[in-house]
Amino acid sequence: MGAPVYISPSILSADFARLGDEVRAIDAAGADWIHIDVMDGHFVPNLTIGPGVIKALRPHSDKPFDVHLMITPVDPYIDAFIEAGANIITAHPEAGPHFHRTVQAIKARGAKAGAALNPSSSPDMIDYVLDELDLVLVMSVNPGFGGQSFIDSQLRKIETLREQVERRGLSTIIEVDGGVTPGNASACINAGASALVAGSAVFRGGPDLYRQNIQALRG
């Protein structure tokens, strides 16, 4: 049996009018984490939700809240997201000049820290902070929207990161986000990902299919 694979459904594809129910439904359907996409209309061309909504969702699940910040600046908002209930905070090093400081601030508040890399960004960008990270998130679409197609070149990036993590004896989780489906999940896992984010592939078909959809990603 291989290492465990965490499935983190992105609520970006949920019914926003019933978000609490949707979080309960994916929790009951076997989600390991709940992926929450925060967008600011500036770092990415879309606006989603902030700490207030995360706080309101917190009582609906005990699973880790995997919060993906697509915002700039990041640091002024870290406390608010942790107080709202974020367990993992993943930010983009492309979003500002002081990413090491961001990682330190997240960890100092007791949350897990992640780095998200846009499709065009090299793993070199996080070389000097990799040892401090709990997670690296490889964006396999350009961030901003759900329902986009997986960019195949990102598999090589996952492999490169896995080699670096193994060479340094780290336990950093490699997560992949964007266009993940049952058709490419095993390629992501074989390349070295151990956490899969999926929005449309989990929420398609409505609540009766969530369990089956999550299972198909593990399959």
Binding-site residues from annotation for a divalent metal cation: 35, 37, 68, 177
Residues 139 and 118: their CA atoms lie apart, in Å, by 5
Cβ atoms of 55 and 84 closer than 8 Å: yes
Least distance CB 14 / Fe ion (angstroms): 13
Q: Show the tokens assigned to 162.
A: 């896995």
> Of residues 32, 37, 40, 66, which has the active-site annotation?
37
Which positions make up the binding site for substrate?
Answer: 10, 68, 144-147, 177-179, 199-200
Binder of Fe ion out of 22, 27, 32, 37 (CB under 5 A): 37
Q: Which residue is nearest to ligand 5RP (CB)?
A: 199
Peptide bond before 73: cis, by omega within 30 degrees of 0?
yes
- By the criterion CB under 6 A, which residues form the site for ligand 5RP? 10, 12-13, 35, 37, 68, 141, 143-148, 177-180, 197-201
Inter-CA distances, 132 with 50, 91, 173, Å: 26, 14, 12
> Considering only CA atoms, which of 73, 91, 210, 214 is closest in space to residue 143?
91
HSE toward the beta carbon, residue 74, CA cutoff 13 A: 29
Which positions make up the binding site?
Answer: 10, 35, 37, 68, 144-147, 177-179, 199-200
Is the CB of 68 or the CB of 92 nearer to Fe ion?
Answer: 68
Q: Is 178 helix (H, G, I), strand (E, B) or coil?
A: coil
> Considering only CA atoms, which of 212, 151, 216 is closest in space to residue 179?
151
Binder of Fe ion out of 22, 40, 175, 177 (CB under 5 A): 177
Measured from the Cβ of residue 212, the count of other Cβ atoms closer than 10 Å reads 12
Is the CB of 104 or the CB of 200 nearer to ligand 5RP?
Answer: 200
Judged by beta carbon distances under 5 to 8 A according to partner kind, the member of ligand 5RP, Fe ion, none in contact with residue 199 is ligand 5RP
Q: Show the tokens assigned to 166.
A: 């193994």
- Applying CB under 5 A, the site for Fe ion has a residue count of 3
Is the CB of 89 or the CB of 201 nearer to ligand 5RP?
Answer: 201
Judged by beta carbon distances under 5 to 8 A according to partner kind, the member of Fe ion, ligand 5RP, none in contact with residue 157 is none
Hey, which residues are catalytic here? 37, 177
